[in-house]
Amino acid sequence: MKSVRKICELGHSLRKKAGIKVRQPLENLKIKNKKSKIEEELLDLIKDELNVKKIEVTTVLPEGEKWSKIVEGEIEVALETEITPELKVEGTLREIARQISDLRKEARLTINDSVAVYFKTESKELKNMIEKFEKELKEKTASKSVTEGEPAKILIKKQFEINNEKIDLSLCK
């Protein structure tokens, strides 16, 4: 468990150095651990903590500009910092879902309160993404709909910046 904590600490350090938030999924983390073998369920824990798709324990860490490496004692970690278009979409959707969840909390709503989400943005990219993944957003945020525009009766509304693009999010019951 001590190794797991250290690996997570090093992984977070690499994310911070690269300026990549934990909400942004990444593809790979490679670990070179000279001391001990890491059990599969502990690898899953690291995967969740660092928000990476794949983890590999290896004897040789990869080189190249898309990899960021760190060494501390017996543990060496390499994080693939390249954000593919698919990973960017996933990270953006997570950020939007988090903002909607925060609005629900701020409006003192429970998971049982049914809400409609409205959005307004000048960004074609955000608009297309929200429309394409509307079903997933509704599921992640316990919302009955996600619609472009503004509701007649606004319960709560805020403007956010996601990927340097402004978006207004509103909730109504």
Residue 124 domain boundaries: 86-172
CA triplet 147, 171, 144: central angle to 5 degrees?
A: 55
Q: Are residues 65 and 12 in the same domain?
A: yes
Q: Are residues 61 and 94 in the same domain?
A: no
pLDDT above 80 (res 35): no
Q: Are residues 11 and 54 in the same domain?
A: yes
pLDDT above 90 (res 39): no
Q: pLDDT tens-digit profile of 48-82?
A: 999 999 999 998 999 999 999 999 988 999 999 99
pLDDT, residue 2, reads: 84
Q: Are residues 69 and 102 in the same domain?
A: no
Tell which of 82, 109, 133 closes a domain: 82
Question: Regarding beta strands 143-148 and 115-121, do their DSSP bridges make them parallel or antiparallel, or are they unpaired?
Answer: parallel
Tell which of 26, 58, 82 closes a domain: 82
Q: Are residues 46 and 69 in the same domain?
A: yes
Q: Are residues 107 and 154 in the same domain?
A: yes
Tell which of 82, 111, 140 closes a domain: 82
Q: Are residues 23 and 77 in the same domain?
A: yes
Confidence of residue 138 (pLDDT cuts 50, 70, 90): very high
pLDDT, residue 110, reads: 87
Confidence of residue 37 (pLDDT cuts 50, 70, 90): confident
Q: Are residues 126 and 59 in the same domain?
A: no
* CA separation for the pair 173, 166 (Å, rounded): 24
Cα torsion 34, 36, 38, 42: sign: negative
Strands (E), the chain: 26-33, 52-57, 67-72, 75-80, 115-121, 143-148, 156-162, 165-172
pLDDT, residue 74, reads: 87
Q: Are residues 95 and 109 in the same domain?
A: yes
Q: Are residues 153 and 168 in the same domain?
A: yes
Cα torsion 78, 81, 84, 90: sign: positive
Lowest mean pLDDT among 35-49, 121-135, 143-157: 35-49
The phi and psi torsions of 4 (rounded to 5 degrees) equal -60, -45
Q: Give the chain's domain count.
A: 2
In a 3-state reduction of DSSP, which class is residue 114? coil
Q: pLDDT tens-digit profile of 103-129?
A: 999 999 988 888 999 999 999 999 999
pTM: predicted TM-score of the whole model, two decimal places: 0.82
Confidence of residue 31 (pLDDT cuts 50, 70, 90): very high
Q: Are residues 145 and 68 in the same domain?
A: no
